[in-house]
């Protein structure tokens, strides 16, 4: 099935890349510097609090769809224009009698004609060929709405499940992202940090609250992050029990985000695909798009029911690493592992301050540089090799990378799908300093408590200076 789907995907790409979608300049995509469209007539004037009669008529004919795709778009920040771009991209495909596409969109900035003011709109995404404006039906509207409050995301998912029921659900969380990093809110107002950051309120959804969203809304089949840096074991640990598959990027996501038309077209044409095939299509379409526009990017999909074993193997590896006398191997791994961009090019040009790194690559470098043949060193190598095999053969469904990072490391070769907290090359960012900007210390994370990884982090800090 997946081969057939990918052939269809490539066919769509050929058509897509011959029109405006494919001809957007690299710089425009990178900056999300798009012109604001003129909204449909009436937007912002007529209050809509529930599903309209016309949508109800559609649903009555086929009340339970195969899939409902829910996109929580918090653009109440400097991504306001990118949200409009992505919504228009979704409209190139639109909902069908088998697939619902519902997008909750909050924007801070007023459109050129003043009709979409600050607030939230929920759209039942409908197909059209007009890429200059959003024409989908508004099915809910609120003028005051804190999208940095995780309870709002829960309400959106519950409401959508009730109004647009389906056999399977996909939830996409769209916004800025900083992985597990949960900065103190009062220290980060208006800095666009956190997942789902709301500039109006200074609020954001933290790591623990992401888990609450999927738990308290009844779970989803696929959780996808159209946000930077979210494919981390610390995040996966929070959501693993309430999802089947998680899609996300280890690295920052370019300003355009997901190429929605590409993977939505494949899904609506093949709504009976397995969850894993859908995840593969999302990741492959991401790779195709960013190869085409020549921008560095990564995306992966992992099996949620394998995360518990990942944590067990990480704990075993950490214990063995602290017992074995292989400090130089760990130091080499710390210094050479591929890292992901927390601070940006100007503040951290060589990523020496970044403390997000690929798990597999770190373990692989350490394993290859073990220098002794004693019992503890051999045990460490065994644990490292077991962890690598598990990541590659069981945990990760698919991983794809485009081009290289700014330090010359290949995303396709070195980004294996999941990242983790590894102390930075430059020790100026010690764990105490990192903890000082956080809402709570790293050791309080569920993952850190379950695995003792925070002890290993301290060990690396102390032993590999």
Q: Enumerate the β-bridge partners of residue 232.
A: 419
DSSP per-residue string spanning 219-251:
--SEEEEESTT--BHHHHHHHGGG-SEEEE-SS
The reply to whether CATH 3.40.30.10 applies to domain 2-295 is no
How distant, in Å, are the alpha carbons of 35, 58, 85, 190, 217 from that of 170? 29, 21, 21, 30, 12
Phi and psi torsions of 7, nearest 5°: -65, -45
Q: Exposure of 10 by Cβ count < 10 A (0-12 exposed, 13-18 middle, 19+ buried)? A: middle
DSSP per-residue string spanning 170-197:
EEEEES---TT--B-GGG-TTS--SEEE
Answer yes or no: are the C-beta atoms of 84 and 109 closer than 8 Å: no
The H or E element containing residue 386 is helix 375-390
pLDDT in tens for each of the 465 residues of the chain? Answer: 554 444 445 445 445 543 444 333 333 333 332 222 232 333 333 344 566 666 776 677 668 999 999 999 988 777 778 888 999 999 999 999 999 999 998 877 545 444 555 678 899 999 998 888 899 999 988 877 788 899 999 999 999 999 999 999 999 999 888 999 988 765 444 433 445 555 566 788 899 999 999 999 999 999 999 999 999 999 999 999 999 999 999 999 999 999 999 999 999 999 999 999 999 999 999 999 999 999 999 999 999 999 999 999 999 999 999 999 999 999 999 999 999 999 999 999 999 999 999 999 999 999 999 999 999 999 999 999 999 999 999 999 999 999 999 999 999 999 999 999 999 999 888 888 898 888 889 999 999 999 999 999 999 999 998
Closest by Cα among 271, 300, 286 to 68: 271
pLDDT score for 182 = 87
**Helix axis angle, 359-368 to 327-336, nearest 10°:** 140
Q: Enumerate the β-bridge partners of residue 63.
A: none
Closest by Cα among 337, 351, 345 to 418: 337
**Pairing relation of β-strands 297-303 and 356-358?**
unpaired
Query: Is 0.75 surpassed by the pTM of this model?
Result: yes
Answer yes or no: are the C-beta atoms of 24 and 256 closer than 8 Å: yes
CATH 3.40.50.11970 range(s) for the chain read: 2-295
Phi and psi torsions of 108, nearest 5°: -90, -30
In angstroms, the CA 223 to CA 340 distance is 21
DSSP per-residue string spanning 244-313:
SEEEE-SSPPPTT---HHHHHHHHHH-TT--HHHHHHHHHHHHHHHHHHTT--EEEEEEEGGGHHHHHHH
pLDDT score for 200 = 67
In angstroms, the CA 44 to CA 92 distance is 23
The H or E element containing residue 458 is helix 453-463
């Amino acid at each position: 099935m997946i081969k057939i789907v990918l052939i269809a995907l490539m066919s769509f790409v050929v058509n897509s890349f011959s029109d405006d979608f494919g001809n957007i300049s690299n710089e425009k995509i990178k900056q999300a510097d798009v012109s604001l469209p003129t909204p449909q007539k009436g937007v912002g004037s007529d209050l809509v609090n529930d599903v309209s009669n016309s949508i109800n008529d559609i649903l009555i004919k086929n009340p339970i769809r195969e899939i409902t795709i829910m996109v929580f778009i918090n653009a109440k920040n400097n991504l306001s224009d990118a949200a409009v771009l992505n919504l228009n991209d979704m409209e190139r495909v639109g909902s069908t009698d088998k697939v619902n596409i519902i997008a909750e969109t909050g924007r801070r900035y007023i459109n050129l004609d003043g009709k979409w003011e600050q607030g939230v709109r929920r759209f039942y995404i409908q197909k059209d060929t007009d890429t200059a404006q959003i024409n989908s039906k508004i099915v809910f509207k609120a003028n005051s709405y804190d999208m940095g409050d995780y309870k709002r995301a829960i309400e959106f998912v519950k409401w959508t499940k009730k109004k647009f029921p389906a056999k399977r659900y996909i939830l996409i969380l769209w916004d800025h992202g900083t992985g597990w990093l949960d900065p103190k809110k009062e220290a980060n107002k208006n800095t666009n940090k956190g997942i789902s950051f709301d500039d109006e309120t200074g609020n954001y959804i933290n790591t623990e609250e992401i888990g609450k969203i999927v738990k308290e809304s009844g779970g989803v089949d696929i959780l996808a992050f159209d946000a930077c840096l979210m494919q981390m074991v610390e995040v996966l640990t929070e959501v693993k029990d309430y999802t089947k598959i998680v899609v996300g990027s280890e690295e920052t996501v370019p300003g355009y985000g997901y190429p929605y038309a590409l993977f939505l077209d494949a899904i609506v044409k093949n709504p009976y695909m397995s969850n894993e095939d859908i995840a593969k299509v999302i990741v492959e379409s991401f790779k195709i798009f960013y190869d085409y526009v020549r921008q560095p990017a990564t995306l992966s999909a992992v099996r949620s029911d394998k995360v518990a074993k990942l944590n067990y193997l990480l704990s075993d590896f950490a214990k063995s690493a602290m017992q074995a006398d292989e400090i130089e191997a760990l130091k080499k791994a710390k210094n050479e592992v591929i890292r992901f961009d927390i601070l940006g090019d100007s503040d951290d040009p060589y990523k020496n301050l970044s403390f997000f790194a690929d798990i597999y690559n770190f373990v692989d470098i350490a394993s290859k540089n073990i220098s002794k043949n004693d019992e503890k060193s051999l045990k460490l190598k065994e644990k490292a090799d077991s962890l690598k095999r598990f990541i590659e053969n069981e945990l990760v469904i698919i991983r794809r990378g485009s081009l290289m990072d700014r330090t010359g490391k290949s995303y396709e070769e070195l980004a294996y799908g999941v990242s983790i907290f590894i102390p930075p090359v430059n020790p100026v960012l010690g764990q105490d300093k990192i903890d000082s900007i956080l809402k709570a210390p790293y050791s309080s994370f569920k993952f850190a408590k379950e695995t003792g990884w925070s002890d290993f982090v301290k060990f690396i800090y102390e032993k590999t200076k």
